[in-house]
Amino acid sequence: MINVAKDARLTDELERQLMMQAIEEQYRFKPVEALKKLFTKLFAAADRVQTPTGRVVESAS
């Protein structure tokens, strides 16, 4: 985030550009974050795998 002095004023055009950049950034696909979420879900599911005896297997960590 950009820190601007309280007495600074933005032109309408600059304000529009900053708003458009913020909106575009919000909807931009982020592959690294998507992969991180995928692996988190996969490892969480693997931790819940049950053994043939019906007991839940827990990781060592």
Q: Supply the DSSP symbol for 57.
A: P
In a domain, 46, yes or no: yes
Q: What is the dihedral of CA 42, 43, 45, 48, to 10 degrees?
A: 170
Give pTM, 2 decimals: 0.40
Q: How many domains does the chain have?
A: 1
Q: Which domain holds residue 34?
A: 30-61
Whether 19 is covered by a domain: the verdict is: no
Q: What is the pLDDT along the chain (61 residues), one digit of tens a residue?
A: 567 777 777 788 888 999 999 999 888 888 998 999 999 998 888 877 755 566 666 666 6
In a domain, 40, yes or no: yes
Element spanning 56, H or E: none
Q: Is residue 1 part of a domain?
A: no
Could you tell me if residue 58 is inside a domain?
yes
Query: Could you tell me if residue 35 is inside a domain?
Result: yes
Q: Does 17 fall in a domain?
A: no
